[in-house]
Amino acid sequence: MSRKSNRRSYRRRATIFVNGASSVLAILLALAVDVSWGQIQGQNEDQQPSQGLEEKLEEFGSQDATRRVNPHLVVYEGTEGPGAGKHIVLIAGDHEYRSEEILPAMARILAKNFGFKCSVFFTLDDEGFIEPGSSNIRGLDALENADLLILGLRFQDFPAEEMQHVINYLERGGPIFGIRTSTHAFRIEEGPFAKYSWNYEGEEYEKGFGRQVLGETWAGHYGTNHEQSSRILIHEDQVVHPILRGVRNMHVQSGGYFADPLPPSTVLAVGQVLNGMDADSLPDPEKELMPVAWVRHYEAKDGTQGRVFTTTHGASEDFLNPGFRRMLINAALWTSGLEDVIAPESDVSLVGPYNPVTFSFGGYRRGVKPADLAGWDTPIMSSKKPTSDGP
């Protein structure tokens, strides 16, 4: 083969790639595998194309196609660590506590620092922008090969074909991790999935998914939002639990919830309601300690025991606290069956800029698409985006 033919061959490959992405990205990918276009064109006729480059192009093209097909999704790919080869699916869809911020931030840590593949799904509006709490979601067939499901939902009624993927996951006993309003993840008034609703009254599945799987449904506010924060204390009987390794000094902004976890549940931490929003605020003398984090198992169709971690806190601002953040990352490892690798000094620092919004109904960043959160260094979320629909 002549050099001229060789050049034509590589030109065709480059053209195929550029059809799916920009030439700038193509050059960056070439540099990432230490291959320049000049080196490619200068190969002698006995040399084969760079395998590293071809793999990079193929991988990028596949990821780009996934983003085009499913705008609800952003994927963080880990490479090394105890989670390598495991897949976590995270679904953000609550109205108030900014799960669309905390879940991608959590996913980045789990992917970059621990090696997991993390697929984060968001509910969107009709134009493809993130709309917290809408039921517009697609692509949950990703749960077919998921090793863990992390939920940040509130009063959802997903399309039937999407909800069925969640049910299939539950029926095989997949591990579940629920934060904050996920205790009342679903509000489904009728149809085949009505029993998963937060207020279902049937004795066979009383109080729905929240009570029967996570261990509690919506039971009401215990602390006053924006006036009373919470100090989280490790339960004295669970100080050696793997999820609590290295965890200390937990303080969160979200107000407390009532909770009485369904037996058998093991309470890991309790909340002390404070009369103020600072960590050194005094406790409310009228509030007793309340369960705020626990583990349990639920039974699948075939008798499989699925691991569960639940916390009634988890607003995006709560994730700024290093102790609370470590508990959540440890919980993801534990529910994934990796408790043996949980280390008190493991790196749970934030990956990339994290700018959480103070939680409120409707107070989310407008004009953000999941693709805007791709990569390690994009902001979650951009502080330039407005938090209201005002002028």
- Give 160's pLDDT tier (boundaries 50, 70, 90): very high
Residue 385: CB atoms within 10 A of its CB come to: 16
The DSSP 8-state label assigned to residue 50 in this structure reads P
- Give 390's pLDDT tier (boundaries 50, 70, 90): low
**pLDDT tops 60 at residue 305:** yes
**pTM for this predicted structure:** 0.83
Kindly state the average pLDDT of the residues 213-221: 98
Cα separation, 235 vs 276, whole angstroms: 23
162 sits in which H/E element: helix 160-171
**pLDDT tops 70 at residue 258:** yes
The tally of CA atoms less than 13 A away on the side-chain side of residue 215 is: 30
**pLDDT tops 90 at residue 62:** no
- Give 68's pLDDT tier (boundaries 50, 70, 90): low
CATH class for the region spanning 70-341: alpha beta
Which residue shows structure tokens 């959160």? 373
Under a CB-based contact definition with an 8 Å cutoff, are residues 160 and 138 in contact?
A: no
153 sits in which H/E element: strand 148-153
pLDDT digits (tens, 9 = 90+) for 11-44: 344 333 334 444 444 434 434 433 333 333 333 3
pLDDT digits (tens, 9 = 90+) for 102-146: 999 999 999 999 999 999 999 999 999 999 999 999 999 999 999
pLDDT digits (tens, 9 = 90+) for 265-295: 999 999 999 999 999 999 999 999 999 999 9
**pLDDT tops 80 at residue 148:** yes
- pLDDT of the residue at 141: 98
Residue 112: CB atoms within 10 A of its CB come to: 21
112 sits in which H/E element: helix 99-112
Sorted by where each begins, the domain ranges of the chain are: 3-65, 70-341
Residue 360: CB atoms within 10 A of its CB come to: 15
Percent of the chain past pLDDT 90, that is, above it, reads 81
**pLDDT tops 50 at residue 336:** yes
Mean pLDDT of the chain: 87
Cβ contacts of residue 47 below 8 Å, gap of 6+? none
pLDDT digits (tens, 9 = 90+) for 168-198: 999 999 999 999 999 999 999 999 999 999 9
- pLDDT of the residue at 66: 43
**pLDDT tops 60 at residue 85:** yes
The pairing of beta strand 87-93 with beta strand 148-153: parallel
pLDDT digits (tens, 9 = 90+) for 42-52: 333 333 333 44
- Give 362's pLDDT tier (boundaries 50, 70, 90): very high
